[in-house]
C-alpha cells in the first residue's frame, strides 16, 4: 500500500514539515532551477525554501530530456536580467552584489556534476554575472557526502545569500531548523548504525 504524502511539501504525511515552515519576506526574487532527480530525493532542501519565501519559484526539469514547458519557463527568466549564484573562478564575491540594484537570483539545485549540464543546456546561464563566497562554516547538511568543505546545500546557499543581501544574520534560521528536523527524521528512520557507517566522518567525495 502506497504511503500517503502531503500535497504541499510532498513528503510522507508522517514526516510532513509544513507546520514548521515560517513564511519570510524577500525583496530579491529567488528562482531555483531543480534537477528532477532532486525533486524525488527524501532530503531535497529546495522545497523548504520555496515554501518559506514569499518571492520564490521552483522549476523542476530533467536536463537530459527537458519538456517544452520547463525549457520555456527557464528561458523566460533571461529577460529579467538575473544573476547566477554558483561557484567558479569567474565568480565575484557575493558582498559586491549588495551594492547593486535588486535582481533575480538563480540557484541550480543539482549534484555538482549534473549542475554543469544546466550550464550547457542553457548556455546563457554561464554568461550571467556570477557570485559566490568562501564558506567559513561547515554545512549542516548531514546526509550526503559533499564535494568539499565549502559546499553547501541549496537551502543553505539561499539563506546565506539573502542574509548577505537583505536580512540580518539569523533572521532566516527557521528555514535551517526545518532542514535540521527533516534530517533528524531521516536519520531516525535509517538508524544510527547505518548513518554512522554511510555518512558520519566519511570525508568528502
For residue 106, what pLDDT is reported? Answer: 98
**CB 63, CB 37: distance < 8 Å:** no
Note the Cα 101 to chain centre separation in Å. 23
Residue 205 has a pLDDT of: 42
Q: What is the mean pLDDT of each run of 10 residues along the chain (205 residues)?
A: 83 92 97 89 86 97 89 93 94 94 97 91 94 83 61 92 91 95 84 64 47
Q: How far from chain centre, in Å, is Cα 200?
A: 22
Sheet-wide strand order for 105-109: 56-61, 30-35, 105-109, 83-85, 130-132, 92-93
Extract the C-alpha cell encoding 186.
Answer: 531521516
Which pLDDT score is estimated for 138? 78
Strand pairing report for 105-109 and 83-85: parallel
Residue partners of 195: CB distance under 8 A and separation at least 6: 143, 187
The 10 Å CB-count burial string (b at 16+, else e) for 165-200 is bebeeeebebbbebbeebbebebeeeeeeebeeeee
pLDDT for position 88: 87
Q: What is the pLDDT of residue 150?
A: 60
Quote the DSSP letter at residue 3.
P
Cβ atoms of residues 43 and 144 within 8 Å: yes
Report domain extents, the chain.
23-183
Q: How far is CA 163 from CA 9, 88, 116, 145, 172, in A?
A: 24, 21, 26, 25, 7
What is residue 101's predicted lDDT score, i.e. its pLDDT? 95
Spell out the alpha helix ranges (H) of the chain. Answer: 36-39, 46-52, 68-76, 94-97, 112-121, 123-127, 154-165, 173-190, 192-198
* Residue carrying the nine cell digits 546565506: 160
Pick 23-183's CATH classification: 1.10.10, 1.10.20, 3.40.50, 1.10.357.
3.40.50
Note the pLDDT of residue 204: 39
Amino acid at each position: 500500500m502506497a504511503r500517503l504524502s502531503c500535497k504541499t511539501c510532498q513528503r510522507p504525511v508522517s514526516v510532513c514539515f509544513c507546520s514548521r515552515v515560517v513564511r519570510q519576506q524577500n525583496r530579491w526574487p529567488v528562482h531555483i532551477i531543480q534537477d528532477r532527480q532532486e525533486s524525488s530525493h527524501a532530503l531535497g532542501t529546495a522545497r523548504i525554501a520555496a515554501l518559506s519565501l514569499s518571492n520564490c519559484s521552483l522549476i523542476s526539469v530533467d536536463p537530459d530530456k527537458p519538456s517544452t514547458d520547463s525549457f520555456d519557463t527557464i528561458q523566460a527568466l533571461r529577460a529579467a536580467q538575473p544573476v547566477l549564484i554558483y561557484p567558479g573562478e569567474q565568480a565575484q564575491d557575493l558582498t559586491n552584489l549588495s551594492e547593486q540594484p535588486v535582481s533575480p537570483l538563480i540557484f541550480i539545485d543539482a549534484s555538482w556534476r549534473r549542475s554543469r549540464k544546466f550550464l550547457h543546456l542553457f548556455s546563457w546561464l554561464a554568461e550571467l554575472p556570477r557570485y559566490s563566497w568562501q564558506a567559513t562554516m561547515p554545512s549542516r547538511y548531514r546526509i550526503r557526502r559533499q564535494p568539499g568543505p565549502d559546499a553547501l546545500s541549496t537551502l543553505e546557499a539561499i539563506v546565506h545569500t539573502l542574509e548577505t543581501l537583505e536580512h540580518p544574520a539569523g533572521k532566516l534560521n527557521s528555514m535551517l531548523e526545518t532542514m535540521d528536523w527533516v534530517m533528524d527524521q531521516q536519520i531516525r528512520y535509517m538508524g544510527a548504525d547505518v548513518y554512522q557507517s554511510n555518512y558520519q566522518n566519511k570525508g568528502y567525495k
